Structure 1
Amino acid sequence: MIKVKTVKIDGKSIYLFNSALYIFESSIGYTLELDMIVTEVILKKYRNEENLILEIELEDGRMISSIMNVKVLPGGLPQLNLFCDLDEGDLQLYHDLDRVNESDLTFPNIEDGLTMEEIRKVEMPNEKMKLKLSLPIDQVEWLEKQKPGDINEMFKEMIYDYWKKYRK
């Protein structure tokens, strides 16, 4: 299987955990497909895009530049599926790529050996959360004077400290 070395989306390099580049054969034609395990941040950023400009560098030095459609793949890890139609003439350019037929029951498994914890070590997503607390008035007054970023940092540190103390 041909290995992908780097991927740029709209000119920006992304961290790639694992990928599979292949030709998908169906009754209506051929598509060049790139399945990628990415961070949750990258998935969230691009999941609602219709298409993206991709630069794919292969380990053998070849470059593939294409406008590709975006699909989010279901699964346990954050995955993007990028694809573009191929003409019969294009197939010769990609003769050494694996082919997957629509009647095949197996697709390349790019999740093998990866965990969400490993992905989050590279880039931890932040999610907004609202809390309703009942606190003494002096603490409420003090919190109201703080900047939101400082309060976020304080809560992150408190939670990590709590985990260290009570998780084991």
Structure 2
Amino acid sequence: MVTVKEVKIDGESIHVFNGSIYIFESSSGYTLELDIIVSEIVEKKYKLEENLILEIELEDGRQINSIMHSQSISGGLPQLNLYCELDTLEEYQDFKMVNENDLVFPKIEEGITLEDIRKYEMPNEKVTLKLKLPIDQSEWLNKLKGKELAGIVKEAIYDYWEKHKMK
């Protein structure tokens, strides 16, 4: 079975938590498919891009360089499904073959949790809060820079979370 060692998208190395590369056979032809579990940040960055330049290094040392297309795939973990059309199967004889009638796709989510992914790379979300505070606290907060304020709120939430999550 062919195993992916490293993936670069548009020249940037990305961390792959798990993945599978295979040939998808349909009535319209063959496509090379790459399904990978990535961080939420990587998924957000690339999932809407139409054309991506991929450099895929396989465990056996082979390199695949191709322009691939992204398509949405449903699942619980952040992932990318990338594909490109194939004219010939000569180079891919040892790749797993998936037929459109079988629909038995490789299971790449097993053994990985969202918590594992977020330990590696935690995404940040912009949050807007409306609070009613005493004027002195309000004035003090308005003097802080955004990064300082974010750090204070983050620390306060983590402290509160640690005290109350086990109860």
TM range (shorter): over 0.9
Cα distance in structure 2, aligned partners of 1:125 and 1:98: 33
SS of 1:67 mapped into structure 2: strand
Displacement after TM superposition at 1:64 (Å): 0.3
Name structure 1 gaps, 5 residues minimum. Answer: none
| Aligned counterparts of 2:84 and 2:47: Cα–Cα separation in 1 | 16
Distance in 2, Cα, partners of 1:98 & 1:47: 24
1:57-91 Cα offsets, whole Å, 9 max, x none, are: 0000000000000112111000100000000xx30
Tell me how far 1:105 sits from its aligned partner: 3.0
Aligned partner of 1:81 in structure 2 is 81
Aligned residue identity for 2:159 = D
Give CA deviations for 1:92-151 in whole Å, capped at 9, x if unaligned: 101100000000132101001110000000000001111110000111111111000111
Q: Does 1:104 align with 2:102?
A: yes
How far has the Cα of 1:51 moved from its partner?
1.1
1:57-76 aligned at under 5 Å gives the runs 57-76=57-76
Moved over 4 A (4+): none
Q: Percent identity?
A: 63
Instruction: State the number of aligned residues.
Output: 166
Which residue number in structure 2 is paired with residue 21 of structure 1? 21
Distance in 1 between the 2:98 and 2:85 partners? 14
Q: Which residue of 2 aligns with 1:136?
A: 134
State the distance in 2 between where 1:47 and 1:31 align: 18
- Cα distance between partner residues in 1 of 2:40 and 2:117: 8
CA RMSD of aligned residues (A): 0.7
* Aligned mates of 1:85, 1:78 — CA distance in 2: 24
For 1:147-166, list aligned pairs within 5 A.
147-166=145-164
